[in-house]
Amino acid sequence: MFGSPVEMGAESLRRTGQGAGRFMLMLLAVAVVGCSSQPATGSSPSSVSFTGATASSGGAVAMKDEVVVRLWDNPQGFDPATLFRIETENVAFNIYSGLTTYDAKTGGIAPDLAESWENTDAQTWTFHLRHGVKWQGDYGEMTSADVLYSYNRVLDPATASPYRGEFASVQSIAAPDDYTVVIGLKAPDANFLHQVASYHQGQVLKKEAVEKYADQYQLNPVGTGPFMLDHFTQNSEIVLNRFDGYFRGPAQLKRVTYRIIKDDGTAEVALKNHEVDLSGTISDNGILARLGQDARFTMNKAVGYAVNLTMFNMEFEPFSKPQVRQAFAHAIDRDAIIKATAPITQSHADNMLPDWMDVASKDVPVYQFDPARARTLLAEAGYPNGFNLKLTGIATAGGASEGDLLRQDYLSKVGIKMDFEFVETAVYNQRRTSGDFQLAGRLLPAVNPDTILFGYLHPANTAPKGFNSARYNNPTVTGLLESARAETNDARRKELYASAERMVMTDLPYLPTAQSSTYWPGWAAVKGVEINKLADVSFWAVTVEA
């Protein structure tokens, strides 16, 4: 007989015959990196000891002019108004610029197309653009007219941008001259610099290029960033060439080649065979454990950058009741699953916001593993015998992950039967965005807390208009969020956010599953890889020793 919940979950895997080999390999890999010392609450992955290379070279070193990067999924297109998912964002981040950008080391706002700005009570923002910024191709100089076009295009309902809500507070956009942009807001927004950063709606594009390529623009992007698209072969590779006219100066590399390899195991082989220089993000903790012990590789990482959420569709009748959502939370030992399946890439989470955000509150309800409490809550909600549901996920060759199989086993013990429904990535994105699911997952990297809180919780962003796929609508929370965004006093703003977070985690439209870290193992010869809090890498300053 097996005793602990994780041991019983492992036995369930053996009984079903699904993923048992991978599960045992994972446990062995965990042992290799000494995870037995990691507390069940999920300590930071930065505590895992790797022996991979961190060496630097002295003297003159021959350099390569290309880096080959494994990309872990097939991007759907590079239009800032609609682009989605981290693999797509990573490519776009090297093609486009925003008025502002993020410092990869600090996570703070930094100048980009705007070299300076000022605001009046956080409501009227005036941006002063750099002179002489060139467009890729034969499109001349970037001016304020390009910024107006880009942002008005996101606001245009005909564009159907899921990021339209990010500009919901914009009342006016004006260009008094070629190098000045003035944005007036309906109410003060102390976080507005995030909305115009080089991420999604903040990225600036060229009207003439959009008109030239029409519905094929997403495969023919034109930006002002350090690299420009050479070609994109679906399910094969993406090649970016250096843009010599980049306003910060040409990149060190002449070319970035992304090779699309979806399977982590295949990516590990490609890295070891030096078919790629960087693995891109690897999620398999067993592979990370092996690579972390190999002195040839550097474990580039962004620790705790975002929170994984389980999304409850509150129009699915059982999930319309908060007791059911809370019962779901109590039924699963999330820390034990993290420890068994992802101790390197995941850690404990009780809040929707990652703990590095200064407005992330610890004063929120905590849902400890308590099956008896889960059964009581189900009975109070009118489901003493549980109910059936479907988890929608991305189809992979391996089927359900070890984590999902363990969740299935935990839920079955309180009477909730969870079946799996796997679809292709593009369908999965569409289903989540439209709200066509009962239960699904999402991870939304952000530096601006409003991207997460307004995106997931504000009724104006209810699916399919935005990312509020749970269809949550609590007027009190909405008011708190709007007041917090408008508040210019830091201490008072934190209090307002904390009140909203406490109420949301009581209502529980979304359950934090874990706080995630991302790792990009790469050959030690690749220098200057900085993964920002959006899990993006700029290749402008990256070098590769020959």
What secondary structure does DSSP assign to 367-424, as a single string?
A: ----HHHHHHHHHHTT-TT-EEEEEEEE--TT-S-HHHHHHHHHHHTTTEEEEEEEE-
Report helix, strand and coil shares of the chain as percent, to nearest 5: 35, 25, 40
CA distances from 533 to 78, 354, 361 (A): 20, 10, 19
Non-local CB neighbours of 106 within 8 Å, separated by 6+ positions? none
DSSP character for 186? S
Residues shown for the chain: 546
Strand order in the sheet with 66-71: 66-71, 255-260, 237-242, 227-233
Q: What letter represents residue 94's amino acid?
A: N
For residues 402 and 10, what is the distance between their CA atoms, to the nearest angstrom? 9
pLDDT confidence of residue 32: 32
Express each pLDDT in 76-133 by its tens digit.
899 999 998 899 999 999 999 999 999 888 878 999 999 999 998 899 999 999 999 9
For residues 354 and 362, what is the distance between their CA atoms, to the nearest angstrom? 11
For residues 103 and 453, what is the distance between their CA atoms, to the nearest angstrom? 22
For residues 361 and 355, what is the distance between their CA atoms, to the nearest angstrom? 8
How far, in whole angstroms, is CA 394 from its chain's centroid?
A: 16
In the chain, which stretches have pLDDT less than 50? 1-49, 51-57
SS3 112: coil
Termini Cα distance of the chain: 55
Quote the tokens at residue 165.
């809500």
Quote the tokens at residue 63.
């350099």
E strand or H helix at 92: helix 86-95
Q: Are 11 and 406 in contact (CB under 8 A)?
A: no
pLDDT confidence of residue 121: 87
Using CB atoms within 10 Å of the CB of residue 1, give its burial: 0 to 12 exposed, 13 to 18 middle, 19+ buried.
exposed
Closest CA to 150 of 168, 130, 173: 173
Q: What letter represents residue 111's amino acid?
A: P
